[in-house]
Amino acid sequence: MAINYPNGKQFLIKTKIGKNDNSKPIKKVNYSNRGMSLEDFLNETNIYYMEHRIALIHKKPTPIQVVKVDYPQRSAAVIKEAYYKLASTTDYNGVFKGKYIDFEAKETNQQSFPLKNMHEHQIKHMKQVVEHGGIAFALIYFTSFEEIYLIPADRMIVFWERMISGGRKSVTRTEFAANGSLIKLGFLPRIDYLKEINHMFFEG
Maximum distance among all Cα pairs of the chain, rounded to whole angstroms: 70
77 binds a second copy (CB under 8 A): yes
11 binds a second copy (CB under 8 A): no
Which lies closer to a second copy via its Cβ, residue 45 or residue 93?
93
Which lies closer to a second copy via its Cβ, residue 132 or residue 169?
132
84 binds a second copy (CB under 8 A): yes
Is the distance from CB of 108 to CB of 143 less than 8 angstroms? yes
Extended beta strands in 116-169, E state? 135-142, 147-152
What is the CA 101 to chain-centroid distance, rounded? 13
Answer for which of 45, 46, 93, 122 binds a second copy (CB under 8 A) is 93
Phi, psi of 19 (to 5 degrees): -85, -35
Residues 41-60 that bind a second copy (CB under 8 A): 50, 53, 55-56, 58, 60
Torsion of CA 72, 75, 76, 81, to 10 degrees: -30
Which lies closer to a second copy via its Cβ, residue 187 or residue 201?
201
> What is the spatial distance between Cα 92 and Cα 102, in angstroms, rounded to a whole number?
6
The shares of helix, strand and coil residues in the chain, as percent rounded to the nearest 5, are: 30, 30, 40
Which lies closer to a second copy via its Cβ, residue 35 or residue 98?
98
Answer for which of 80, 168, 184, 199 binds a second copy (CB under 8 A) is 80
What is the CA 158 to chain-centroid distance, rounded? 21
Answer for which of 28, 34, 97, 169 binds a second copy (CB under 8 A) is 97
> What is the spatial distance between Cα 33 and Cα 36, in angstroms, rounded to a whole number?
5
Answer for which of 5, 21, 71, 83 binds a second copy (CB under 8 A) is 83
- List residues bridging with 104 in a β-sheet: 138
Answer for which of 1, 3, 47, 82 binds a second copy (CB under 8 A) is 82
Element (H, E) at 70: strand 64-70
Mark the segment that binds a second copy (CB under 8 A) among 22-30, 61-69, 170-178, 187-195: 61-69
Residues 139-198 that bind a second copy (CB under 8 A): none
Least distance in angstroms from the C-beta of 94 to a second copy:
7
Contacting residues toward a second copy, per CB under 8 A: 50, 53, 55-56, 58, 60-64, 66, 76-85, 87-89, 93-102, 125, 128-129, 131-134
